[in-house]
Amino acid sequence: MELGIGMFGDLAFDQTTGKYRDAGIKLREILEQVKLMDEVGIDIFAMGEHHRPEYAVSSPEILLAAAASITKNIKLASGVTVLSSSEPVKVYQNFSTLDLISDGRAEIFVGRGSFIESFPLFGYSLNDYEELFDEKLDLLLKINSEENITWSGKLRAPMENQTVYPRAKNGGKLPIWRAVGGTPQSVLSAARLGMPLVVAIIGGMPIQFKNLIEFYKQEYLKAGFPEAEMQIAIHSHTFVSEDQNVIDGYFENYKSQMDRIGSSRGWAPYTKMQYEGGRMKDGALFIGNPKEVADKINYMKEIFGITRFIGHMDVGDPAHDIMMDSIKLFGEKVAPEVK
């Protein structure tokens, strides 16, 4: 099973100044953190895309290209590319370029994203929310498998015998995963297309997703794809420390970000009870000492049969030294316990 780390580039908010932390400093810290991930043997790094003041990264592929130049082995993925408001030709070109720079280490996770700011930002209508994603995914997958493209849709101009360059290393094909938040229709679409699946489990109890993942397996096989090629990942909030005081203190980081996001969605303020409940064996937070986190990942493998786990590790913008320690423990203590 592969183990990865994901980030959104969270920026802490200073109540005194009324400003978010400097994005440039955060980006440089992320690059230092990815370099450490590579050194301690983490399999994959996934960088999210957002267009909000709470996050430093709007163009994951640029940051991933910078990371490619200072790493040797770690796979580099978007987590996710908001495909509905992106141009599929440019998405492929950006990631094929990243693939060539990194010598074949690029991947794309495509999804609708959990925010809608990118739609008005890039001139798309939310009335086309579903159709935009389906049409653009169809085009991206075609570009990924064919060098010369003839394609037509409703919301984008047609392509007639056009070529898309540069081509990625593996015969022009990039690994493209479908990232979902739990919608059965999205899972069904991924299965019927034979796409690897990433399920974001960030709340409640992971066991609640078992039927959804079994549904994917059933439909994937029914569509005629080989079981040996099936790939399933989960992406969950994660933090590792051997110091219980750090784990207890991380609640403040976690709460601050959850409350900022939740305020626009009508969520009640996040509580310590929710935090501790999520850290229990049946909860969705992979936050604790190395053995606690490793045991929980192994439990996910047992109930879901996952092939990849991605620990989302920068919620609330923890201090750089604490992040570095968490990454080191994930690679040097959690990973051997899991593998």
Residue 309, classed as helix, strand or coil, is strand
Task: Tally the C-alpha atoms within 13 A of residue 78's C-alpha that lie toward its C-beta.
Answer: 32
Task: Please state, in angstroms and rounded to a whole number, the distance separating the CA atoms of residues 254 and 288.
Answer: 13
Q: What is the DSSP letter of 7?
A: E
Task: Please state, in angstroms and rounded to a whole number, the distance separating the CA atoms of residues 6 and 23.
Answer: 18
Q: What is the pLDDT of residue 85?
A: 96
What letter represents residue 159's amino acid?
M
Task: Please state, in angstroms and rounded to a whole number, the distance separating the CA atoms of residues 227 and 138.
Answer: 23
- Residue 197 forms beta bridges with which residues? 178, 232
Tens digits of pLDDT across the chain (339 residues): 999 999 999 999 998 999 999 999 999 999 999 999 999 999 999 999 999 999 999 999 999 999 999 999 999 999 999 999 999 999 999 999 999 999 999 999 999 988 999 999 999 999 999 999 999 999 999 999 999 999 999 999 999 999 999 999 999 999 999 999 989 999 999 999 999 999 999 999 999 999 999 999 999 999 999 999 999 999 999 999 999 999 999 999 999 999 998 888 888 999 999 999 999 999 999 999 999 999 999 999 999 999 999 999 999 999 999 999 999 999 999 999 999
Structure tokens of 66? 């910078």
What is the domain partition of the chain in residue ranges? 2-338
| Entry field: residues in the chain | 339
| Omega cis (within 30) before 166 | yes
Task: Please state, in angstroms and rounded to a whole number, the distance separating the CA atoms of residues 213 and 249.
Answer: 34
- Rounded to the nearest 10 degrees, what angle do helices 184-193 and 129-145 cross at? 20
- Nearest CA to 5 out of 207, 238, 295, 204 is that of 238
- Nearest CA to 12 out of 318, 226, 261 is that of 318
Q: What is the CATH number of domain 2-338?
A: 3.20.20.30
* C-alpha dist (Å) from residue 257 to 19, 55, 58, 132, 277: 14, 10, 18, 29, 18
**CB atoms near residue 5 (< 10 Å):** 28
Structure tokens of 156? 């984008």
295 Cβ contact list (under 8 Å, min separation 6): 281, 337
Q: What is the pLDDT of residue 150?
A: 98
Task: Please state, in angstroms and rounded to a whole number, the distance separating the CA atoms of residues 12 and 317.
Answer: 5
Structure tokens of 237? 């909030």
Q: What is the pLDDT of residue 263?
A: 84
150 Cβ contact list (under 8 Å, min separation 6): 159, 160, 161, 162
Distance of CA 172 to the CA centre of its chain: 23
Q: What is the pLDDT of residue 113?
A: 81
Query: Judging by beta carbons within 10 Å of its beta carbon (0-12, 13-18, 19+), is residue 66 exposed, middle or buried?
Result: middle
Query: What phi and psi values does residue 104 have, to the nearest 5 degrees?
Result: 90, 30
